[in-house]
Amino acid sequence: TPYLVTVGETLAALSASQPGPLSLGADLRLGLAGAESNVAVGVSRLGGRAVWIGRVSEDALGDLILRELRAEGVTALAVRDPAPTSLLLKERRTAGHHRTRYYRTRTAGAGLTPQDIPEDVVAGAAVLHLTGITPALGDGPAKAVTRAVDIAADAGATISLDINFRSLLWSEEEARNALLPLLRRCDLVFAGVHEARLAVPGTDDPGELARGIRDLGPSGAVIKLGAEGAFALLDGQPHRQPAIPVRVHDSVGAGDAFAAGYLAELLAGEPPEQRLRTAALLGAFAVSTAGDWEGLPRRSELALLDHHDDN
Ligand code: CKP
Ligand code: MG
């Protein structure tokens, strides 16, 4: 069966269970975050095979990451690293306002090197999925991503990139310089409007952004428009995908969910319309539930939001 490989950093997420200022103390829930592992879990829940490659700490948090990913059916190929796991601290300042902060310097995930990328595993993948977060973690992770792309390109795998710009990790200028050479080698790019503008400056128009990305090399460009859905240009064909209307609980993880839905259907050999429909459904599950990936559906659960409105 065809499988997806992704390379990145999984973080420990500490989330306040009740709204209110963290400065007063709080009950915190310990879970996982990380764009690449979010995608791997999303694909796995839909019945696809997913492999996650990364470094994890040698302590309980590293064990937690591996145990949780494996429980979700993801093949986790991890090098253990003496450095600590990155933390993501999530404050719920009010019911509707989340604030996050990274504790993300000199951590295990950022210790990734090109030697950590198993050539046979990447060469055998149908899809290599990357995000713009991994190259932002440092020189080692950036080189590891390039190594994975070299292997996948030689093997003829579909190379997918979610730009996932993180202003807490680098500037727009740094991101553009690092991600443009990567983007040119990809087959499929996912981006929000602001993210797409890093590659295609001077317009907010989804069609122009998608064509601009296509002109850089990728045959597929998916511009995510939040509550307005998505616009995709796939092998020259335009597609419009409306969002599934749901009550927004926590929008973090929506982009990863969308990519997971799309890529799971790509692995399953489904046509563009179904890839985009499932992508929108997974995005809706992610925003209407707490956590970045916990609320993602199994295939049998897609019908819960299909043709329904839970408002
Ligand atoms: O673009 P998304 O909201 O789908 O990404 C969310 C993830 O990896 C989240 O899990 C977080 O830990 C991160 O992006 C990140 O490093 O910012
Ligand atoms: Mg995103």
Candidates 81, 116, 162, 256; catalytic one? 256
- The ipTM assigned to this model is 0.96
Q: Which atom of ligand 1 is nearest to the CA of 13?
A: 12
Contact 65, 56 (CB under 8 A): yes
Residue 202: which residues within 8 A CB-CB, separation 6 or more?
none
**Measured distance CA(281)–CA(110) in Å, rounded:** 32
Name the residue with the closest Cα to ligand 1, atom 2. 253
Interhelix angle 35-45/254-267, rounded to 10 degrees, is 50
**Measured distance CA(283)–CA(253) in Å, rounded:** 8
Ligand at shortest distance from the CA of 192: 2
**Measured distance CA(115)–CA(305) in Å, rounded:** 42
Is the CB of residue 230 below 6 angstroms from any atom belonging to ligand 1? Answer: no
- The residues pairing with 52 across neighbouring beta strands, listed in sequence order, are 6, 76
So what's the pLDDT on residue 249?
Answer: 85
Is the CB of residue 12 below 6 angstroms from any atom belonging to ligand 1? Answer: no
So what's the pLDDT on residue 310?
Answer: 47
**Consecutive sets of 10 residues in the chain, 311 residues long: mean pLDDT of each?**
98 94 95 98 98 98 98 98 97 88 95 98 98 98 98 98 97 98 98 98 97 98 97 98 92 96 98 98 94 95 77 43
Is the CB of residue 221 below 6 angstroms from any atom belonging to ligand 1? Answer: no
Pocket test for ligand 1, best of 9, 43, 256, 262 (most atoms within 8 A of CB): 256
So what's the pLDDT on residue 311?
Answer: 43
**Measured distance CA(13)–CA(65) in Å, rounded:** 11
Closest CA to 10 of 80, 137, 109, 110: 109
So what's the pLDDT on residue 284?
Answer: 97
CA 271 to chain centre: 21
Name the residue with the closest Cα to ligand 1, atom 14. 35
Distance 168 CA to ligand 1 centre (A): 12
Distance 37 CA to ligand 2 centre (A): 13
Is the CB of residue 86 below 6 angstroms from any atom belonging to ligand 1? Answer: no
Is the CB of residue 254 below 6 angstroms from any atom belonging to ligand 1? Answer: yes
Is 256 considered catalytic here?
yes
The strands making up 220-224's β-sheet, listed across from edge to edge, are 75-81, 49-57, 3-7, 127-131, 158-162, 188-192, 220-224, 230-234, 237-241
